[in-house]
Amino acid sequence: MALVETHLDGGVLTVTLADEENRNALSSALVGELITALDAADADPAVRVVVLTNSGRVFCAGADLTERSSDGRPIAKVDAADLFSRFSRSPKVYVGRIAGHCVAGGMGLAAAMDLSVAIDDAKFGFTEVRRGLAPAMISVLCLPRMRPADAAEAMLLGNRMTGADAARMGLVNRAVPADELDDVVDGFVADLLAGGPDALAATKRLLTQVPGMPTQEAFDWTAKLSADLFRSDEAIEGMRAYLEKRSPDWAG
């Protein structure tokens, strides 16, 4: 049985973590299937937006600790760094529909999303210190989203927090009651489908690259990017549609 399920409808690919028995832990098998799904999404021009969600009560329980030997060495290869970095490298926009608890490495998976909505009573937490570990790789994704004081408290104490707390800290965009989750996610998706595919990919590049650039380098790079976009077929269609008071062709 597949650990990761996919469904494409109207330009939206829903990717579901479906290893309920193992609480969607990041096992070697699940990570491999998820990377395969991400590769397929990147290669398919029919995919405009990817929604990552879960079946069961747990979005992701982090690393699969059963894949460790008695002395702590991995007995199965899990390339979590490759997995986490794929989301920012992808030209597609990823929306997290976090319909369950999310701890440890699962926090990194949630933070890797471009946009995310969680149920407000889901349990979140950097629980690594309670296992004699540290939130090492996921700190690369989570720390830029958090105030230093919030990060220190959450990561050092290792306590659980609610989805509402995770939203307040910037780890997810919204936290809502479970019966509102689909409406909010669908609203995000509808707004994303109204944007040009190339424009969304360029905006993702801005969000990931500009913050780390020296100011003048950022101005030079963004000026070129802007000029290239203005000359693109997509922008010409978008501006023409605006002047003609109609929807652009990518918006159906």
Alpha helices in the chain, H assignment, sequence order: 28-43, 80-89, 105-111, 136-142, 148-157, 163-168, 181-193, 197-209, 215-230, 233-243
Instruction: State the catalytic residues.
Output: 128
Contact 61, 18 (CB under 8 A): no
Contact 52, 98 (CB under 8 A): no
Which CA distances in Å does 27 have to 19, 77, 93, 95, 245?
10, 9, 24, 22, 50
Structure tokens at 91: 């030209």
Residue 105: CA count within 13 A, CB half-sphere = 21
Comparing CA positions, the residue from 224, 237, 157 lying closest to residue 196 is 237
